[in-house]
Chain A
Amino acid sequence: MSNARSRVAEAVWRFAGTAGKYLLVALVTLFAAFPVIYMFVTSLKTRAMLYEPAMVLFTPTLDNYRVTLEKYGLQKYLLDTLIVALSNVAVCIVLGTITAYGLYRFALPHKKKILFGILSSRIFPSIALVLPFYIIGLTLRALDTYAILTVAFMVFNLPFVVIMMKSFFDNVPPELEEAAMLDGCSRLQALYRVVLPQIKTGLFATAIMCFMFAWNEFTYALFLTSTNVNMVATAIAFFKTERGILWGEVSALGIVAVLPIVVMCFLTQKYIVKGMT
């Protein structure tokens, strides 16, 4: 009897443990995601409803989104962000892949040091590097152009591509391309036709992450551009009025800026986790 009772007690405890664990996981996940959710809810409210932060049941309105589009030219910010991010990703992927291939394929002297040098340029604080970039932009008359952001973003994205692609190349057996070259391919053709297809998921994930980094960059965008080029995040300034921040509009803008990233986050989560750790 007592044996059976203790078994029941054990099962209850185990269930309580599991339930408790899932409860804690739910709490942490909520903590992580809540600011995004709250901003989304706020973006659907009218100005009067903002004074009731806890209100959940209301008729959502898309007015804030319409106003940011019609009155504040949200599409222009989105287009600018897209242009900068895409051109930066294209440049970094091409240059970075070639370098990673060179590092993987050839016996270079000081290979370790080169890799470290490449990696270390990634950790420089952007608020420090933005000063010389400002001077460069000033003297070359390149401030407030797509070009200066595309180049400045290479500081963090190019090393990233090299490191990621090097790790993918390391998993490709060298015999593959040797066979292709015996069949008459040049080295570049072998890379393009034989090696790259092997690692195309990795290449794609790297490109997506670069895009996310570029899309999310703020410091360079804030100080190197002003009126011609406007990245989404720097558009915040337009929503501050004398009466304070227009939270409905700002929330709509924030959600539009964050949405593509959230989608990409879900699609490439596995690689993001790998790339970060």
Chain B
Amino acid sequence: MDRIRGLAPWLWVAPSAVPLLLIGVVPVALLFYISATSFEIGYPWSDRTFVGLANYQRLFSGREVEFWPALRLSLVVAAISVVLKFLLGLAVAVLLHRPLRFEYFIVALLILPMAVNPAIAGLMWKLMFSFDFGIINVLVEQWTGAKIVWLSHRYALFSVMVVLVWMHFPLSALMLLAGLRNIEREPLEAARLDGCSSWQVFWHIVLPQLKPVIISSSIFQAILAFQVFGPIYAMTDGGPGHATATLPIYVYKTAFGIGAMGLAAAAAVVLVIITMALSAALMASERSEK
């Protein structure tokens, strides 16, 4: 480490610290401020009035009838999709953790869902789920003799959930795979020599060692699940009705549909706070490992 202290180091950090501060701190501060105003799209910014916590009151009192359902739906989506991403991710990680032929090729295809533009991904699945043009209905019709309206009130949430799991399970798989490859070998060998079945080895020795990775990947997935916007926008736009209207969809419709920026900002602040709480949990879980 260099002995240079004083101003010089800060000159190196400044070129990006200043813009980072500007684009990281200013928008967040502005977001909090907007949430305390009555600003609406279509009016000049100078027309806003300061309303304090009135927007939050409106949201939490239930007068905004769509807010609580949106928050609840986001929680449900996050909870279910995190579990599904974990299970699928773990299965894939176990499959991949021994050397495979064509591994490079396989991994490149596996990370494709994360590399595709989220809105285009939503469209791809909308096409797959399409009543007339979708491949999924071809299979369903062959098995059951009838097609399903996948984006109907009854099935839309299920369809969206499939897309979210598809989009992010590779991340879980890769994180768990890295965890599996870091596991100590000796206890595994010892347990096998003692006559443990491979299931016992997995349950009692591998999983406990994976626990930190499982926790951090799940929290990370929850953060992603709460924020997801593009795929739902492209697939269902929150509909039909409010069947898939999660918190981000509520924010966008309130801000850019109705134009109630102040109210939308208050809902966005709720989203930011959830994100921050989850990332604090992530930090705490990583610290407790050390």
Contact = CB atoms under 8 A, between A and B. Distances in A.
Nearest to B96: A25
Nearest to A95: B16
Interface residues of A, number: 88
Nearest to A267: B108
A106 B95 contact: no
Interface stretch (B53-61, B186-194, B204-212, B260-268): B260-268
B248 interface: yes
B120 A257 contact: yes
A114 B13 contact: yes
Contacts of B80: none
A135 B117 contact: no
Interface of A: 21-22, 24-25, 28-29, 31-36, 38-39, 42, 50-51, 53-54, 94-96, 98-99, 101-103, 105-108, 114, 116-118, 120-121, 123-129, 131-136, 138-139, 151-152, 154-155, 158-159, 162, 174, 212, 215-216, 218-219, 222-223, 232-234, 236, 245, 247, 250-251, 254, 257-258, 261-262, 264-266, 269, 272-273, 276-277
Contacts of B91: 24, 28
A106 B6 CA distance: 10
A191 to B, nearest CB: 9
Given A99-B13, A99-B15, 15 more contacts: A35-B116, A99-B20, A105-B12, A106-B12, A124-B24, A125-B248, A128-B268, A136-B26, A162-B16, A215-B117, A236-B119, A247-B130, A258-B120, A269-B108, A276-B114
Interface residues on B, range: 35 or more
A96 B19 CA distance: 10
B27 interface: yes
A108 B45 contact: no
Contacts of A247: 127, 130, 133
Contacts, number: 260
A203 to B, nearest CB: 15
8 contacts: A39-B124, A50-B133, A53-B133, A54-B135, A98-B16, A218-B119, A258-B120, A276-B171
